[in-house]
Chains A and B, each alone.
Chain A
Amino acid sequence: MKRYHDIVGDGGSKILEQVAEQRTRITDGLAGVRHLVAVGSGKGGVGKSTLTLHLAGALRARGLRIAILDADFNGPSQARMAGVQEALFVPGSHKVSLPRTKDGIAVFSMGSVIPESEALEFESAAHGESHTWRATREFALLGEILGSFEWGALDLLMFDLPPGAERTVQYADFFGPFDSAQGKPRVSFLLVTIPSQVARGVVARSVAALSKGPNRLLGYVENMSGYYCRDCNAIKPLFVSSEIPRLGIPCLGTVPFDPELARHCDGGMPLADLGETPVRRALDHVAQQLLESLI
Chain B
Amino acid sequence: MKFLCVPCDSPMKLQSVGPPERGSLSVVYSCPECGYEMAMLTNAYETQVVQSLGVRIGAEVEADASSTTGGRCPFPAMIPGNEQQQPGDAGEPIPVRWTAAAEARLANIPAFVRPMARTGIERFARDRGALEVDEKILDAARDFFGM
Give A contacts to B, CB under 8 Å.
Answer: 1-2, 4, 7-15, 18-19, 22, 87-100, 110, 113-114, 122-127, 129, 132-134, 136-137, 140-141, 143-145, 148
Contact = CB atoms under 8 A, between A and B. Distances in A.
Contact of B109 (A125, A137, A148): A148
B65 interface: no
B36 to A, nearest CB: 13
A1 B4 CA distance: 9
A11 B45 CA distance: 22
Given A9-B2, A132-B48, 10 more contacts: A11-B11, A12-B15, A88-B121, A91-B138, A92-B108, A93-B108, A99-B147, A126-B45, A132-B45, A145-B110
B74 A100 contact: no
Contact of B44 (A88, A126, A134): A126
Interface in B84-110: 105-110
Interface string B64-86: 00000000001110000000000
Contact of A113 (B44, B106, B113, B147): B113
B108 A94 contact: yes
Contacts of A97: 142, 145, 147
A145 B109 CA distance: 8
Contacts of A11: 2-3, 11-14, 29
Given A113-B120, A137-B52, A12 B110 contact: no
A7 B31 CA distance: 13
A251 B113 CA distance: 38
Given A90-B121, A90-B145, A148-B108, A136 B55 contact: no
Contacts, number: 160
B53 interface: yes
Contacts of A12: 13-15, 29, 58-61
Contact of A100 (B14, B45, B146): B146
B19 interface: no
A90 B59 contact: no
B62 to A, nearest CB: 11
A1 B9 contact: yes
Interface of B: 1-4, 6, 9, 11-15, 20, 23-24, 29, 44-45, 47-61, 74-76, 105-113, 116-117, 120-121, 124, 138, 141-142, 145-147
A149 to B, nearest CB: 9
Contacts of A4: 2
A144 B124 CA distance: 25
Contacts of B53: 15, 19, 136, 140
Given A88-B117, A124-B74, A144 B4 contact: no
Nearest to B22: A125
15 contacts: A1-B9, A2-B9, A9-B2, A15-B57, A18-B56, A89-B116, A90-B138, A92-B105, A96-B110, A96-B117, A97-B145, A132-B45, A137-B54, A144-B111, A148-B108
B7 to A, nearest CB: 10
A133 B45 contact: yes
The CB with the most chain A CB atoms within 10 A, among B11, B56, B112, is that of: B112
Contacts of B138: 90-92
Contacts of B74: 123-125
B47 A7 contact: no
A144 B3 contact: no
A125 B23 contact: yes
